[in-house]
Chain A
């Protein structure tokens, strides 16, 4: 019979010698690195592709994307008159610069946040909080022109394209219902709400150009951003600040543009009555 000699285990091969934290950082680093590289490459590709789409294709793409965004906002019937006024400002803005090949629809939404959003498909959603803060028609026209600039540069499509790339990436890499990819989707999808500073500035310049053509001068159009810079700390402005560049810097860059293009100065146009009503305390 075999003799049994009891022997105690002194070493355990099943317990790794290196810390698990180290493994976590190595693996996490690799995943993040891969995602970053692919994201950058595909992002560049999206930029190229979006730039080359024909206007018709781009608009079709946008209109496919618009319903899911528009569903986020509800129109207020009390604001119809004001909405029509805003639409009028925008239409004149576009007509005077000859940009009539594409139509844009303004939606005025009751919301105390000071913000405006450009939604794929030519929809510009303006929050009543923004109208309430405006002091002249020129200021509102500048905001509208800025959003038109985003459309002209196809910024939404670019942002959507990147967002889609990201979603596709994490789904392919980790599987749709994985905890890791779920987290990635949620955190990074939020970052997609933002356009780059460069895109914002380009949209601003586009807006400024429209203003100059419509009113013959750009006086007053930047006042909105100026006041924004002064009142940066107020809570109702946070929404705007989350999705737009720091106003002080922005105004500085725009003033440089105004000087460089030697835009004329003049008298800003007062707000139409329906819009002024929103600004007054008793308004809707």
Chain B
């Protein structure tokens, strides 16, 4: 009886994990695509400095972070994958989502900047430890993106800048 109960619990968890996981993931990918398109004008690079002959209006730290949980289906699939080895395909999209979300959140802080340089990504695991003596198998992943947003001081507005030349 106990065995049957745990089997049913397991199957329910697996089904819920799968359907909820797929739905949430699809929705998240659609959203990411949409938001990335809007912020396409803002480059995000890993280089440490830019060489430009211009005045900098501001250079400031921007951060973006996200915590995404593994669902039970992914966890089980990864546990099975642990036996045979190979790419853990259950987790690849999850990490992809987390990285892109973190980068986007970072960019969304400074939509008026010209570039974000020195962008770094940090990944860490949250959970998976022991709660009340019982090992908790489910984990979350945190991805943390940070960089330096730079805005270049533009010359005065074009019509103003053009005016002296016209006068000359």
Q: Which residues of A contact B (CB under 8 A)?
A: 1, 4, 6-9, 12, 14-16, 20-21, 23-24, 27-28, 30-31, 173-174, 177-180, 182-183, 186-187, 189-190
B43 CB, min distance to chain A CBs, angstroms:
5
State whether B80 touches A4 (Cβ < 8 A): no
Give 22 CB contacts A-B under 8 Å: A1-B50, A6-B43, A7-B40, A8-B40, A9-B33, A9-B36, A12-B29, A12-B96, A14-B95, A16-B92, A20-B18, A24-B73, A27-B80, A27-B81, A27-B83, A30-B84, A179-B10, A179-B76, A180-B80, A183-B10, A186-B3, A187-B7
State whether B43 touches A4 (Cβ < 8 A): yes
| B residues less than 8 Å from A14 (CB atoms) | 92-93, 95-96
Complex Cα distance A23/B76, Å?
Answer: 11
State whether B52 touches A1 (Cβ < 8 A): yes
Complex Cα distance A183/B89, Å?
Answer: 23
A127 CB, min distance to chain B CBs, angstroms:
18
State whether B137 touches A179 (Cβ < 8 A): yes
State whether B79 touches A180 (Cβ < 8 A): yes
Number of A-B contacts (CB under 8 A): 81
| B residues less than 8 Å from A31 (CB atoms) | 80, 83
Count of residues in B whose CB is under 8 Å from the partner chain: 37
B3 partner, pick from A9, A23, A179, A189, beta carbons under 8 A: A189
- Interface residue ranges of B72-93 to A (CB < 8 Å): 73-77, 79-81, 83-84, 89-90, 92-93
B41 within 8 A of A: yes
Complex Cα distance A28/B77, Å?
Answer: 9
**Residue of A with least CB distance to B137:** A179
| B residues less than 8 Å from A189 (CB atoms) | 3
B73 CB, min distance to chain A CBs, angstroms:
7
State whether A24 touches B43 (Cβ < 8 A): no
**Residue of A with least CB distance to B90:** A20
Q: Contacts A14-B96, A28-B80, A179-B79 given; 14 further ones with Cβ under 8 A?
A: A1-B50, A9-B33, A14-B95, A16-B92, A20-B89, A20-B90, A21-B18, A24-B80, A27-B77, A180-B76, A182-B6, A186-B2, A186-B3, A186-B6
Most chain A Cβ neighbours within 10 Å, of B37, B79, B96:
B79
State whether A8 touches B37 (Cβ < 8 A): yes
State whether B135 touches A177 (Cβ < 8 A): yes
B27 CB, min distance to chain A CBs, angstroms:
14
A163 CB, min distance to chain B CBs, angstroms:
13
Most chain A Cβ neighbours within 10 Å, of B80, B92, B95:
B80
